[in-house]
Structures are given as C-alpha cells and as structure tokens.
Amino acid sequence: MPERLAEKVALVTGAGGGIGRETCRLFADEGAKIVAVDLNEDSGQETVDEVEARHPGTAIFVRADVAVPQDCQAMVTAAEERFGQLHVLFNNAGIMDGDDGDAISTTIDTWNRTIAINLTGVFLGCKYGVPAILRSGGGSIINTASFVALMGAATPQLAYTASKGGVLALTRELAIVHARENLRVNALCPGPLRTEMLMSFLDTEEKKQRRLVHVPLGRFGEASEMAQAALYLASNESSYVTGTEFVVDGGITAAYVTPE
C-alpha cells in the first residue's frame, strides 16, 4: 500500500509520550517528516531517536512551551526551515493537573495553567501554524480535545473539562473560516486512556473503576489507537471531514449522551 502521508511534514506537540509519541512513530511509518515538539527535552528527543532509528533523516526535536507565543512561532519556523513546508499540525500537548477539582477546590493558579496549556496552546499553534499550512497549499489541523468536553467527568476536573470544551469551539470556528482554503480542522476526542497522564490523575483503584464502569468496551483506550485516529484525520482519506468532534472513546458518550 502507498504511504498515507508521503511527502507530508507533520508537527506534533506533546511528542514526548502518550498520544504524541505514538503519533510521531505512526506518521513517520506512513511517510511523513516529523517535527516533534515537547517542553521536556529528554522525552522529546527520545521520540525523535526512535523515529530516526527507523527512518533516518526524517525527524527533528524542538523544545517549546505551547503557552508561550514565541515558542509556538519558533516551532513552526523550525518546521519550514528544516523541511520546507508544513502540512499537518497536531495540537496535542496538554496537562491534567492533580489539583484540578470542582469550582470550590480548584485554585486560580491551577485554572490559569490548565487553560494556558490546553486551550491557549492550541490557539497559538493555529495562530502560527495556519499561515504555514496555507503557504504549503493546504493540509490538516488536529486539535486534541476530550470526551469530557461533551459530557463532563465523573471525577471533577473543571479546568481540564472547560479547556477541552474551548478546544471544540475553537476547532469548529477555524474549520468554517478556512473551509474554502484547502485547510481542514478537526478535534480528536479521546475517551479514557491508559496513559501516564490519566493514570497519575486516577491514582487509586477506586478512581480507575469509577471511570471504567462508564465505558461500554470495559477498558481504557491505548495511545496507539488515538494515533490511528489522528492518521485518518491527517491523511487524504478524510478529505471531506472538517469541523468535527472525532470521538474515539470506547462508547462512553454513546452510552450517556442523548441527542436533543
């Protein structure tokens, strides 16, 4: 089969682990050049080393804090300087703060930090990424949201849920704004995943089971499964898909969200 991302350049934030690392691996296997972005230099470089071992000369690491405008501008500049173009932007970096709770318990610092990374980081990625993708003739933007943006969480995490709801609204508007410019924008909404980020938040067996009992498939999802969904949204196979909430959640929203 032909490579699904042949001759494409993809920038992935949060590339140091979880969904980001799995996506970098998969995109590279499908022919893409990879710009792996993370705040943690060690884990980000590990991702690049893994990709380079399989596909020499196809990946670079860029250290960036997605909440900082200059860093986001620099990561896009690095993509164009190294590979000449940018076709796919995966705004995937995010945090889930252990101190995030309900409106009473969540501090303003936790709120501001979560919004800065999870929502402002997506905005800044698009602010600098959109012009680059348009310069390349078009492409795809994928923003990581969450199933909790659609239904709320059984374990309170107000700042996280609000930030991901904002990602959905931002995605919809950008999709409409750029629909006639060969630029598609979609939100990936993962369900509960067996990643380090979620497992550190659901830090007791009771919390894990409280989440799992709501998942019809009866298990946590895998980061590799989210990477497969991102690949579909990045590739030409999804050429008629824009402005969507692409839900990959083990059935949890189907079980609890009813149409109006």
Alpha carbons within 13 angstroms on the beta-carbon side of residue 99 total 10
Cα–Cα distance measured from residue 138 to residue 184, given in angstroms and rounded to the nearest whole number: 8
In the numeric block, which tokens belong to residue 46? 């590990």
| DSSP letter (8 states) at residue 84 | S
- List 53's β-bridge partners, or say none: none
Q: Are strands 9-13 and 183-190 parallel, antiparallel or unpaired?
A: unpaired
In the numeric block, which tokens belong to residue 164? 């991901």
List of residues 6+ apart from 64 with CB closer than 8 A: 13, 37, 38, 39, 71, 72, 74, 75
Cα–Cα distance measured from residue 257 to residue 260, given in angstroms and rounded to the nearest whole number: 9
- Map residue 69 onto helix, strand or coil: helix
Cα–Cα distance measured from residue 236 to residue 99, given in angstroms and rounded to the nearest whole number: 40
Residue in 89, 62, 91, 96 with CA at minimum distance from that of residue 78? 62
Tell me which residues are annotated as active site. Answer: 160
